[in-house]
């Protein structure tokens, strides 16, 4: 219960600040509102697990897919809405989305396999995926391939929303066909699940409502405080929006996945972050043009500049490499370390390009494109070297798709 009280307190402190009308300096406001999102994200993840005990499986899957990225939505959709009034916010919206996606693979996936290896003490250990998770891989494959279209045409439009929403629907449809399984509860949900059904449902509903109120109250101040902090400190606000904002919403999900691995349920841990990647790469990206159009009152597309197009291209390239590495339905320690090394090197190069001395660092366009092509080149090399990855992806691309992969594993 200590974890539950701590998460609730993080959200409460910001609700009290808002209720009392207290105005904090931008850095303090970013910290306080970000902490509220952090705590609320924990509450949402726990409530989502508990909800599976009472909600029909199909409805739970569809609902949880949205709930999993609700904290990220709150910040990103606010930025997309503001972009309809100030075009500068288009860059912030895409920065937050690309940062969240790249953190999931470069930090989340990599950390899981390192924890798995440390727990097992075997250098050759590989973190496995379940055959049923072929539906996530197929959805990620299709979304990643389509993502390269976005920077080519230079806009995020209703067409992208339609395609990505269609892929999300395909993903949910695949989940609905999977066999029913009881949720594996971790942490506070275990204690709440022991309550009588009526009390359990009441507590679960209260957690949902409380977390949603906290997130909605914190999203706008958090985004604006980060931008103001960047101005005050002389740090490009684009960097703060891209990397600090997603940390508040992604960290609780990372911790839940890490706990799965520490409990010996490594497949569930990797599956959690893989599902989050699919959700963010389809539903979240699809929502941005819709929020933008709702703000402008016209079906206008979000026009991307060179920086924004390059960031989406780089994120798509990283997604391809992560997908190729999972083609064999396992993530090796070597693959995890490579993903993290590439992510860290790209982030360091970006920081040097943005903050380093003029004339002594490469321009961001050069470093971003170089890493994107490096991801794609490594993807091709990995496919050539790893026959099991080629075989796994080939099964996914057959007409039978993910179902074929499940049957192949059973046979």
Contact 75, 214 (CB under 8 A): no
DSSP β-ladder status, 302-303 and 155-156: antiparallel
Nearest to 146 by CA among 375, 313, 275: 313
The helix or strand, by DSSP H or E, that contains position 230, with its residue range, turns out to be: helix 197-233
2-410: what fold? A middle domain of Talin 1 (1.20.1420)
Give the integer Cα–Cα distance in Å for 251 and 232.
26
Q: Is 259 within 8 Å of 51 (Cβ atoms)?
A: no
The pLDDT tens digits along the chain (411 residues) read 788 899 899 999 999 998 998 889 988 998 998 888 888 878 877 887 787 676 655 455 555 556 656 777 888 888 999 999 998 899 899 998 999 999 999 999 999 999 888 887 555 568 888 877 888 899 999 999 999 999 999 999 999 999 999 999 988 888 777 665 556 666 778 888 888 888 888 888 888 889 888 888 888 888 888 888 887 877 788 888 888 888 777 776 787 778 778 777 788 788 888 888 998 999 999 999 999 999 999 988 999 988 899 999 999 999 999 999 999 999 999 999 999 999 999 988 888 877 766 545 556 656 668 899 999 999 999 999 999 999 888 888 776 555 555 544 444
Q: Which pTM value belongs to this model?
A: 0.83
Q: What is the DSSP letter of 242?
A: I
Q: What is the C-alpha separation between 192 and 197, in angstroms, rounded?
A: 10
CA dihedral of residues 182, 184, 185, 187 (deg, nearest 10): 170
pLDDT of residue 150: 96
Residues 61-67: contacts with CB within 8 Å, 24+ apart? 61/172, 61/175, 61/176, 62/172, 62/176, 65/168, 65/171, 65/172, 65/175, 65/275, 65/279, 65/283, 66/279, 66/283
Cα distances from 146 to residues 149, 163, 173, 373, in angstroms, run 5, 8, 19, 17
Question: Distance from CA of residue 226 to its chain's centroid?
Answer: 20
**What is the predicted pLDDT for the residue at 4?**
87
Question: Quick one: pLDDT at residue 40?
Answer: 85
Q: Residue 389: CB partners within 8 Å, gap ≥ 6?
A: 324, 325, 327, 328, 382, 383
User: CB under 8 Å to 177, separation ≥6 — which residues?
Assistant: 403
What are the residue boundaries of the structural domains of the chain, listed by start? Answer: 2-410
Chain-centre distance for alpha carbon 387? 29
**CB contact burial 58-69 (16+ within 10 A = b; e otherwise):** eebbbebbbbbb
Tell which residue, 165, 123, 120, has the closest CA to residue 143.
165
Phi-psi bin for 47: left (phi > 0), alpha (psi -120 to 50), beta? Answer: alpha
Q: Could you give the C-alpha distances from 35 to 121, 165, 247, 360, in angstroms and in order? A: 35, 31, 10, 37
Return all residues near 215 (Cβ < 8 A) that are at least 6 apart.
36, 37, 40, 41, 44, 70, 71, 74
């Amino acid at each position: 219960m200590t974890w539950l009280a701590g998460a609730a307190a993080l959200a409460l402190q910001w609700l009290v600040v808002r209720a009392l009308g207290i105005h904090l300096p931008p850095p303090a406001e970013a910290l306080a509102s970000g902490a509220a999102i952090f705590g609320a994200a924990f509450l949402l993840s726990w409530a989502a697990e508990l909800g599976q005990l009472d909600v029909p499986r199909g409805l739970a899957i569809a609902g949880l897919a949205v709930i999993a990225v609700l904290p990220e939505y709150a910040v990103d959709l606010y930025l997309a809405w503001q972009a309809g009034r100030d075009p500068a916010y288009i860059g912030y919206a895409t920065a937050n989305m690309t940062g969240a996606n790249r953190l999931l693979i470069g930090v989340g996936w990599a950390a899981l396999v390192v924890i798995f290896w440390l727990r097992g003490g075997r250098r050759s250990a590989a973190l496995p995926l379940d055959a049923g998770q072929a539906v996530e891989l197929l959805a990620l494959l299709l979304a990643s391939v389509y993502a390269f279209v976005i920077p080519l045409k230079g806009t995020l439009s209703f067409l992208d929303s339609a395609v990505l929403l269609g892929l999300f629907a395909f993903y949910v449809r695949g989940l609905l066909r999977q066999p029913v399984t009881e949720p594996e509860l971790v942490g506070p949900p275990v204690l709440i699940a022991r309550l009588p059904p009526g009390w359990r449902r009441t507590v679960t509903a209260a957690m949902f409502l409380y977390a949603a109120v906290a997130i909605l109250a914190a999203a706008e101040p958090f985004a604006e405080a980060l931008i103001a902090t960047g101005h005050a400190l002389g740090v490009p606000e684009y960097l703060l929006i891209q990397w600090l904002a997603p940390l508040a919403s992604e960290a609780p999900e990372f911790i839940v996945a890490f706990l799965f691995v520490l409990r010996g349920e490594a497949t569930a841990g990797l599956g959690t972050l893989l599902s989050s990647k699919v959700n963010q790469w389809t539903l979240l990206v699809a929502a941005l043009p819709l929020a933008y159009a709702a703000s402008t009152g016209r079906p206008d597309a979000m026009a991307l500049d060179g920086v924004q197009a390059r960031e989406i291209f780089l994120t798509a390239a990283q997604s391809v490499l992560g997908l190729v590495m999972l083609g064999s339905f396992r993530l090796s320690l070597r693959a995890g370390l490579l993903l993290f090394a590439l992510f860290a090197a790209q982030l360091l190069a970006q920081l040097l390009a943005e903050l380093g001395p003029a004339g002594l660092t490469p321009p961001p366009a050069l470093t971003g494109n170089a890493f994107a092509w490096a991801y794609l080149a490594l993807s091709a090399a990995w496919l050539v070297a790893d026959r099991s990855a080629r075989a796994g992806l080939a099964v996914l691309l057959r007409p039978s798709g993910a179902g074929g992969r499940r049957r192949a594993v059973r046979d």
